[in-house]
Structure 1
Amino acid sequence: MAVLKKMIAAELLEANEGLFRCPICIADMTLRDKAQFVCQAGHSFDLAKQGYVNLAPQAHATKYDKELFTARSHVMASGFFDSVVDFIAKAIQERLGDKNKLTILDAGCGEGTHLMNVLGALGGERVGVGIDLAKEGIVAAAKAYPGTIWTVADLANCPFRDAGFDVILNILSPANYAEFTRLLRSGGWIVKVVPEKQYLQELREIFYAGKEAKEETDPVGRFSEQVSDVHVEHITYPFELDRGLLASLIRMTPLTWGADEEKVAEALQSGLSSITIDYKVLIGQRAE
Structure 2
Amino acid sequence: MTVSKKMQSAQLIGMNEGLFNCPICSVRMGMVEYSRLVCENMHSFDLAKTGYVNLAPQSHTTKYDKSLFEARAKVMSSGFFEPVLDKLISIVKEHVEGIDRPVLLDAGCGEGTHLSSIHSQLQIESVGIGIDLAKEGIVAASKSYPGIIWSVADLAAMPFQDEQIDVILNVLSPANYAEFNRLLERGGIVVKVVPESGYLQELRKAFYGGKPHKEETDPVERFSEHFDDVVTDRITYAFTLLEGLLASLIQMTPLTWNAGDERIGQVLAEGMKEITIDLRVIVGKRR
1:25-44 aligned at under 5 Å gives the runs 25-44=25-44
CA distance in 2, matches of 1:126, 1:74: 27
Amino acid at match of 1:124: I
Aligned 8 A contact 2:163 2:186 in 1: yes
- Structure 1 residue 23 corresponds to structure 2 residue 26: no
Q: Which runs of 5+ in 1 are unaligned?
A: none
- Structure 1 residue 47 corresponds to structure 2 residue 47: yes
CA distance in 1, matches of 2:118, 2:270: 33
CA distance in 2, matches of 1:51, 1:142: 6
Instruction: Give the total of aligned pairs.
Output: 287
Q: How far does the alpha carbon of each residue in 1:155-197 deviate from its partner, in whole angstroms, 9 at most, with x for none? A: 0010000011000000000010000000000000000000111
Match for residue 179 of structure 1?
179
Alpha-carbon shift at residue 3 of structure 1 (Å): 6.8
Match for residue 211 of structure 2?
211
Match for residue 137 of structure 1?
137
Alpha-carbon shift at residue 246 of structure 1 (Å): 1.0
Q: 1:96 to 1:181 in 2, by over 3 A?
A: same
CA distance in 2, matches of 1:3, 1:172: 34
Amino acid at match of 1:200: L
Amino acid at match of 1:110: G
If the length of structure 2 is used for normalisation, what is the TM-score? 0.97
CA distance in 2, matches of 1:82, 1:105: 20
CA distance in 2, matches of 1:220, 1:3: 45
Q: How far does the alpha carbon of each residue in 1:104-163 deviate from its partner, in whole angstroms, 9 at most, with x for none? A: 000000000000111122221121000000000000000000110000000001000001
Q: Secondary structure at the match of 1:79?
A: coil
Q: Secondary structure at the match of 1:156?
A: coil
Q: Which runs of 5+ in 2 are unaligned?
A: none
Q: Secondary structure at the match of 1:167?
A: strand
Match for residue 13 of structure 1?
13
Q: How far does the alpha carbon of each residue in 1:231-276 deviate from its partner, in whole angstroms, 9 at most, with x for none? A: 1000000001023111111110001111111221122122211100
Match for residue 56 of structure 1?
56
If the length of structure 1 is used for normalisation, what is the TM-score? 0.97
- Structure 1 residue 223 corresponds to structure 2 residue 223: yes
- Structure 1 residue 73 corresponds to structure 2 residue 79: no
- Structure 1 residue 166 corresponds to structure 2 residue 166: yes
Match for residue 198 of structure 2?
198
Aligned sequence identity (%): 60
Report the aligned-residue RMSD. Answer: 1.4
CA distance in 2, matches of 1:2, 1:59: 33
CA distance in 2, matches of 1:29, 1:243: 48
